[in-house]
Amino acid sequence: MLKIIAVAWRRVRYRRMATGLTAASMAVGAALAISLLLVRNQGGALLGHHPYGFDLIIGPKGSGTDLTLNTLYHFESSTGTIPWGVYTQLSANPEWHPLVADAVPLAVGDSVAGCDLIATTSALFSAHRLPSLAPGVEEASPQTRVTWDVGESLQVGRGRVFRPGTIEALVGADVPRLTGLELGSRFRPTHGTGSTINPLEVHQRTFTVVGVLQPSGSVLDRSVFVTLEGFWSIDEHEQGLHAQALLGDQAAPDALQPSSVDAHGVVVLGLPEAERRISAILLRSRSSFAAQLLLYRLNLGDQAMAVNPTVVLARLLRTVLSPATRLAGALIALLLGSATLSILISSYQSVQAQAHELAALRALGASRSWILRLVCSEAAMCGLLGSMLGVVPAHLLLAVLGAWIDPRTGWTLSWWQPSSADLVVVLGATAAAGLVGMIPGYLAGRIPVVEQLC
Amino acid sequence: MSVVLRGIRKSYPDSSGALVPVLNLIDLLIGSAERIALTGPSGAGKSTLLHLIAGTVLPDAGTVLHDWAGASCSMSTSREAVRDQYRGRHLGCVFQGNHLLAALSARENVLLGLTVTGRPSDPAWATELLTAVGLGQRLDHKPAQLSPGQRLRVACARALVGRPALLLIDEPTASLDALSATQVLELLLGLAAELHAAVVVITHDPAVAARVGRDVPLHSINRCVPC
């Protein structure tokens, strides 16, 4: 049966050039709109989750946002260091220890062929971390909710975790591809990270890769993990830390005993414990109350500060991403609006050009509402066709963007997966086109039949 | 069973806005299966009268009453939707220029006569009609692929597909040569006779009027002379 939809489709297909141009206009708008939606959704999701499953980040006093972003996403350089004693106090002191479920120290500042080097302990790779319920997470709106992955994603894929106190290294899932480092490879770290890397400042300490992590979809995939002892044993580090201790009157004036490595690959540190420093501590508290208490107590002291990364990120998402989201929303509306306007113009011109056909339909007995439905269907088809044509370019655009972002941040954008954004834009564009089609459709129903047919 | 036109008046505004009477006090009766040729020179108001009968335009005064096969409708007072529905179900129209949908094939154009009024499609009947008008081999051709005469035949088949009680034809032979015009007219009249449909043909050609049947010169029923 020749239904109204079939008639509309035949007419749309017959006007190939006009339909093609209108659909192309819609496709451009839809592609940009879908890309923006995908970036917005995935950007928020990527910033809002991290394989680290910890409640608090402890670091040098200063900006909590900088500390969080540097620790979790390796943005910019490290914000400074805190004494190693802060960590030992948290993990062993009876006053603090009951509040702490896990504490993992981190030291950063070096890189390997562009990949950040993180000195830590094997505790970072312990399985079955629970997602934290950090205080303040409830304050986040649904759009800016911050969630944490369970730490299980930080699992070793090949090889093993480094032995404590050695000069062994574990590399992220992307590191072999990016640097050529494989199990058994040896490397020497370079001083600096990101834009501060100085390729001429290559440290003398050599590390051996003993394991490769499974992919986590985060910046950790392009990070290299070594032991803290191995990190401190680097000449420049121990000399620098010793000099820093001397300046702060915390070091004995004795000459620094250089570190060495024994026959088993275990580091014998020359740097006294009091002079050792780290960049940050990841901490998981035993309860929400314990987290609050730790936050309060640590921030009272003068050696370090604690931040709840969930709260920091939620605030960041609210203050930065929400306006960006609104701007993106406005842009999406503008793009789709202009594309829909082109459909309106095209539909109106089509009605004007084919007024005699529409008048003939009226003379055959077609009601005004039949004509209205016909024209609306044609406009909706243009919207549907154009927006569907925009889906593939949108994902390709995201792939290009992902290829640019990935090496810089470690964030992998899922460009190939169909998204709800596709459906939203396609349905929205189709509905909007169908709605604007009502204007020419209404006018088409009022074409004076006698004038057209006589 | 008939169409009754009584006291029909129709005027159109000229460029200055003044109303120019075209039809004045027209009275006409079209009986069941009757064949009428409305004749007159160009601009006499023949097409306007046809559209008044079809209900695509309303008279300024007077009544147009259809009463066919138990269904009746006042084309001068009924709501537009009612007139559309009635026209689609009981009348068949062939207008000057044919106005087929360029995007549809010959058969789809014929079926359109049923589709627009929501009646079930009948492809077999459409094919039969097109075969009857000599286009059995061109069912899937688009209008652009047909000659003017063939397009007129498709328009005739489209007008007949709904088995109308009244067939309204406006200048059917205007764009055809004499031989083709004769063939198409005979074909149309023959098919209308098979369907027992009344026929009103608008023409300025006395030869066409003679073939149709009762010749009604418009000036004989129109009490005003157009400017």
Average pLDDT on A294-323 reads 81
How far is residue A240's CA from residue B5's CA, in Å, rounded to a whole number? 111
Which residues of B fall within a CB distance of 8 Å from A7?
A: 101, 103-104, 108, 112, 115
Q: Would you call A303 an interface residue with chain B, using a CB distance cutoff of 8 Å? A: no
CB contact under 8 A, B48 and A367: no
Q: What's the rounded Cα separation, in Å, for the pair A30 and A54?
A: 39
| pLDDT at site A131 | 42
- As given in the structure block, the two tokens for residue A73 are 């996403």
| pTM attached to this predicted model | 0.67
Considering only the beta carbons, identify the residue of A356, A365, A453 that sits closest to B84.
A365
Lowest mean pLDDT among A133-142, A240-249, B34-43, B210-219: A133-142
User: What's the pLDDT at B212?
Assistant: 85
The residue written with tokens 């160009």 in the block is B42
pLDDT reading at A153 higher than 80? no
Q: How far is CA B148 from CA A428, B94, B178, B200, in A?
A: 44, 14, 13, 22
Q: What's the pLDDT score for residue A53?
A: 62
- The predicted pLDDT at position A257 comes to 78
Using pLDDT thresholds of 50, 70 and 90, give the confidence band for residue A302.
Answer: confident
Contact call for B115 and A360, based on CB within 8 A: no
What residues of A are in contact with residue B52 (Cβ under 8 Å)? none
- Chain A CB contacts of B158 below 8 Å: 364
Among candidate residues B29, B41, B38, B33, the one with its CA nearest the CA of residue B214: B38
Least confident range of A131-135, A446-450, B201-205:
A131-135
pLDDT at A256: 72
Q: Whose CA is closest to B149, among B184, B101, B182? A: B184
CB spacing of A363 vs B80 below 8 angstroms = no
Do residues A360 and A444 touch, judged by C-beta distance below 8 A? no
| Residue A151 confidence class, pLDDT cut points 50, 70, 90 | very low
Taking the CB of residue A277, how many other CB atoms lie within 10 A of it? Answer: 22
Contacts of B117 in chain A (CB under 8 A): 364-366
Q: A389 pLDDT exceeds 90?
A: yes
Q: Does B56 touch chain A (CB under 8 A)?
A: yes
Phi, psi of A179 (to 5 degrees): -120, -15
Compute the distance between CA of residue B95 and CA of residue B170 in angstroms, rounded to an integer: 5
What is the DSSP secondary-structure string of B167-215?
Answer: EEEESTTTTS-HHHHHHHHHHHHHHHHHTT-EEEEEES-HHHHHHHSEE
pLDDT of amino acid A251: 57
A10–chain B Cβ distance below 8 A for any pair: yes
Alpha carbon A213 to chain centroid, angstroms: 19
Structure tokens belonging to residue A77: 């350089």
Helices A368-409, A420-436: crossing angle, 10 deg rounding: 150
Q: What is the mean pLDDT of chain A?
A: 81
Nearest CB neighbour to B99, from listed A1, A13, A360? A360
Q: Is there a contact between B103 and A10 if contact means CB atoms under 8 Å apart?
A: yes
One-letter amino acid for residue A339 of the chain: A
Per mean pLDDT, which range of A176-185, A250-259, A396-405 is the poorest? A250-259
Which residues of chain A does B109 touch, with a Cβ-Cβ cutoff of 8 Å?
none
A-B interface: how many C-beta pairs under 8 angstroms? 101
- Does the beta carbon of B11 lie under 8 angstroms from any beta carbon of chain A? no
Cβ contact (<8 Å) for A2 and B170? no
- Average pLDDT over every residue of A227-245: 83
The number of residues making up chain B comes to: 227
Measured between CA atoms, how close is A415 to chain B, in angstroms?
39
**Smallest Cα distance from A153 to chain B, Å:** 58
pLDDT in tens, B99-123: 899 999 999 999 988 888 888 888 9
Q: What is the mean pLDDT of residues B185-203?
A: 88
The minimum CA-CA distance between A368 and chain B, rounded to whole Å, is 8
Contacting residues of B for A360, CB less than 8 Å apart: 95, 99-101
What pLDDT is stored for residue A440 in this prediction?
94
Q: Which of A200, A203, A222, A291 is closest to A74 using CA atoms?
A: A222
Please give the Cα distance from A254 to A433 (Å, whole number). Answer: 80
Q: Tell me whether residues B99 and A453 touch, CB distance under 8 A.
A: yes
- At residue B168, the pLDDT reads 92
Confidence of residue B182 (pLDDT cuts 50, 70, 90): confident
Predicted confidence band of residue A253 (pLDDT cuts 50, 70, 90): low
Cα–Cα distance measured from residue A285 to residue A130, given in angstroms and rounded to the nearest whole number: 11
Is a pLDDT exceeding 80 seen at residue A454?
A: no
Structure-token pair, residue B119: 């009646």
Report how far residue A228's alpha carbon sits from residue B119's, in angstroms, rounded to the nearest whole number.
Answer: 83
State the pLDDT at residue A46.
Answer: 62
Percentage, residues of chain A above pLDDT 90 = 16
Given pLDDT bands bounded at 50, 70 and 90, which one contains residue A102? confident
Closest Cα partner for A189 from A156, A147, A236, A132? Answer: A236
- The whole-number average pLDDT for the span A312-323 is 75
Distance (Å) from the C-alpha of residue A10 to the closest C-alpha of chain B? 6
Is any Cβ of chain A less than 8 angstroms from the Cβ of B48? yes
pLDDT recorded at residue B99: 83
pLDDT value at residue A147: 42
Asked if residue A59 lies in contact with residue A280, where contact means CB atoms within 8 angstroms, the answer is yes
Is A27 buried (19+), middle (13-18) or exposed (0-12) by CB count in 10 A? buried
pLDDT at residue B227 is higher than 60 = no
| pLDDT value, residue A250 | 61
Q: Which residues of A touch B56 (CB under 8 A)?
A: 362-363, 449-450, 453
- B101·A360 Cβ contact <8 A: yes
- Distance between CA atoms of A428 and B173, rounded to whole angstroms? 50
- Among A142-151, A174-183, A385-394, the range with the most confident prediction by mean pLDDT is A385-394
Per-residue DSSP letter, A123: G
| CB distance B222 to B44 below 8 Å | yes
Angle (CA) A55-A56-A57 rounded to 5° is 140
Asked if the model's pLDDT at residue A146 lies above 60, the reply is: no
CA distance A420 to chain B (A): 35
Query: What one-character-per-residue DSSP string does B131-149 give?
Result: HHTT-TT-TT--GGGS-HH
Distance, in Å, from the CA atom of A428 to the CA atom of A422, rounded to the nearest integer, reads 10
Cβ neighbours around B140 below 10 Å, total: 10
Q: Is A359 on the interface with B (CB under 8 A)?
A: yes
Buried b (16+ CB within 10 A) or exposed e, B153-189: bbbbbbbbbbebbbbbbbbbbbebeeebbebbbebbb
A449 CB neighbours in chain B (<8 A) are 51, 56-57
A15, A356, A370: residue with CB nearest B116: A370
What pLDDT, on the 0 to 100 scale, is given for residue A63? 87
Q: Which of the residue ranges A313-322, A331-340, A435-444, B192-201 has the most confident prediction, judged by mean pLDDT?
A: A435-444
Distance CA A4, CA B131 (A): 25
What's the pLDDT band for A173 if we cut at 50, 70, 90? confident
Flag whether pLDDT at B180 surpasses 80.
no
What pLDDT is attached to residue A141?
39
Reported ipTM? 0.87
Residues 6+ away with beta carbon under 8 Å from A6 = none
Cα(A318)–Cα(A139) distance, rounded to whole angstroms? 11
What's the token pair of residue B82? 């009612």
Interface contact A357, partner B, CB < 8 A = yes
What's the mean pLDDT in B178-185? 76
